[in-house]
Structure 1
Amino acid sequence: MTRKITASAPGSVMLMGEHAVVKGYWAVACALDKNISVTLTPRADREVLIRSELATYQASLDDLSIDDRLSFVLKAIQLQLSELTRGFELDISAEFSHTLGLGSSAAVTVATVKVLAEYTHQSLSRAEHLKKSLAVVHGVQKRGSGTDLAASIYGGVIAYKVDPCEVIPLSGLPIICLHYVGYKTKTPEVLSIVAQKAKRHPHIYRDIYKMMDSVTCAAINAIKDEDWQGFGELMNIYQGQMDSLGVSDAKLCEIIYSLRKDSRIQGAKISGSGLGDCVISLGAEIELEGFQQIKLTVAKTGISLTESESKGESND
């Protein structure tokens, strides 16, 4: 008999702090009740076999090739090669589509890092887990604040700052919902657009980021007090700063103002980098004609680990 190791990591969504977090300011995010699970089955040889909806992959630990469809998983393996003496199989399953975002890359990263650490008998604190996971993300895409990683690891609602790295778990579980606009602009492209605008108005953009941080810090206090009306008002204020950065557009604004017309909605803003993707609302679940609604529940807990027994080690 041999043990199978399964790590289940929740998806996540940004509540506040977009763009400002990469400048060293505070962000707020939460874990969701939709998980990505990674199950590791030991092998007696040095082969690695990965099975997921995105791709099936097989290679030797001594000759790992690149597959962009599994870039975060393979980078996590590469960074652990010195500790890996035998191969393994990874089976990856998701309770939500990667096309929806929801921190899917972060969730699969923290889950893969966790099962590899367990397989190689490494005990990780949450801070160490976050550091290793962030190294994976930076190895793949050179940038990233790690806010979604922290949310998947810690669970619940968190306040997060990059440098120095600090994670503060927050009490309270907001009622939130996402509304997908129907298209996306990749985050690196959005950041590049913002950077070009900031070059023309550097002092103004610095002030925008500082204002974003002031709003986020006030939002952190509102969450601590479970003042959801106040938090919703701060969401609306933060959206004004997103407009100032130039990452809002007509369709996003249509969703935002349609939501705000309903008295049951306490706040609505872009979630993520902007120029597409989703609007997040606080309060009642409301469907808007022409836009996909994604119902969300905040997960109280972060990544979890379970073990089970299987017959023998795989060698296929």
Structure 2
Amino acid sequence: MNQIDSSIRASAPGTLMLLGEHAVLHGARALVLAVDKRIRVELTALDQPQLEIESALGQYSAPIDQRPWDATFSFILTAFEHCYSAFAETGKACSAGLRLRVESDFSHLVGLGSSAAVTVATLAVLNRWFGQSPDNDQLFEQARTVMLQVQGRGSGADLAAAIEGGMVAYHQSGKRQKLATLPPVGLYYCGYKLKTPLVLERVAGAAEQLPHLYHQLYQLMAECAEQACVAAGESDWSLLGRLMNYYQGLMDALGVNDAKLSQMIYQLREDPEVQGAKISGSGLGDCVISLGQPRSVALPDRIPVEVAPEGVCFD
């Protein structure tokens, strides 16, 4: 373990789903991007056995071996529990305390994978604090364990991009393929967001009523996503844009589109610089993403982002 006066800093990028939402949970590949908006976690040693957390969401303080649950910091506390338990199994005592200070380039209300970024960055500093040096595969498995413990479900695609950076073709088995960088993308927030677990519940309920049709729908989504991964790997941006538009139609059929999102998407497609536009994420709110940045169409609530080649790193 580090000395009392030590400080460790790591950061991880926010993420965006380009294509493959929902279908990735049914065995399809997905395309996910790391963006240049990061979450930074700084670990500072304390001379008292306390765990302290500071962020824009609030503060937390408790004895390091008696940690009451606080849903505000669910991902951080679960990440700490994971690393602390593994350290305790070695038979060593943890007599020092630590403070985790979180800073973010973006609001947690906007769907840029804040939970994934803070989980990955927190695990990075904690692993180093407890004397561990996991590789990217091990870090991914740790982060996915934390994610599933907190929210019960999720593909892990945003975790993969937060760790690897750039554009990643991802399968929920954990297989990740880093691809060439994209042309510029546009990102626009619709003004509201329904949490992903609630969207998944609605989709699951609809699928129970029409299981055969939804099975076929997921097959179409998987085929589209696979072609998109191939197109992205070959830097065929024109084809990728067409596949984004096609996938958006399938998202509509899935029941996760609405009038506001549709209006934004069709406005973007009118711009000659835009090769494709669709929902980014689980849907029923949040963001719309375009392949190419529009010049003649101006939508409000634009979030300036670029694809970031670097994933999690120590600062």
Change (3 A) 1:272 1:27: same
Gap runs ≥5 in structure 2: 89-93
Equivalent of residue 273 in structure 2, options 257, 264, 279? 264
Q: What is the count of residue pairs matched by the alignment?
A: 305
Indicate the residue corresponding to 1:174 in structure 2: 183
Q: 2:103 is matched by which residue type in structure 1?
A: S
Equivalent of residue 96 in structure 1, options 102, 106, 115? 106
Indicate the residue corresponding to 1:150 in structure 2: 160
Indicate the residue corresponding to 1:313 in structure 2: none
Indicate the residue corresponding to 2:256 in structure 1: 247
Indicate the residue corresponding to 1:105 in structure 2: 115
Aligned partners of 1:199 and 1:98: how far apart in 2?
32
Indicate the residue corresponding to 1:273 in structure 2: 282
8 Å Cα contact 2:109-2:193 kept in structure 1: no
Aligned partners of 1:65 and 1:227: how far apart in 2?
51
8 Å Cα contact 1:20-1:213 kept in structure 2: yes
Aligned partners of 1:299 and 1:113: how far apart in 2?
20
Aligned partners of 1:91 and 1:290: how far apart in 2?
35
Q: 1:227 is matched by which residue type in structure 2?
A: D
SS in 2 for 1:18: coil
Aligned partners of 1:288 and 1:261: how far apart in 2?
8
SS in 2 for 1:159: strand
**Is 2:58 the counterpart of 1:55?**
yes
In the TM superposition, what whole-angstrom CA distance separates every residue of 1:5-48 from its partner, at most 9, and x where no partner exists?
11110000000110011112111101001110001112233111
Aligned partners of 1:181 and 1:150: how far apart in 2?
25
Equivalent of residue 217 in structure 1, options 219, 226, 237? 226
**Is 2:296 the counterpart of 1:283?**
no
Aligned partners of 2:187 and 2:55: how far apart in 1?
26
Give me the CA root mean square deviation: 1.4
Equivalent of residue 135 in structure 2, options 105, 122, 125? 125
Aligned partners of 1:180 and 1:91: how far apart in 2?
27
8 Å Cα contact 1:61-1:81 kept in structure 2: no
How far did residue 291 of structure 1 move? 3.1
Indicate the residue corresponding to 2:91 in structure 1: none
Gap runs ≥5 in structure 1: 307-316
Matched-pair identity in %: 46
Q: 2:14 is matched by which residue type in structure 1?
A: G
Aligned partners of 1:186 and 1:41: how far apart in 2?
32
TM-score, length-scaled by structure 1: 0.93
How far did residue 288 of structure 1 move? 5.5
TM-score, length-scaled by structure 2: 0.93
How far did residue 286 of structure 1 move? 4.8
Q: 1:149 is matched by which residue type in structure 2?
A: L
8 Å Cα contact 1:13-1:271 kept in structure 2: yes
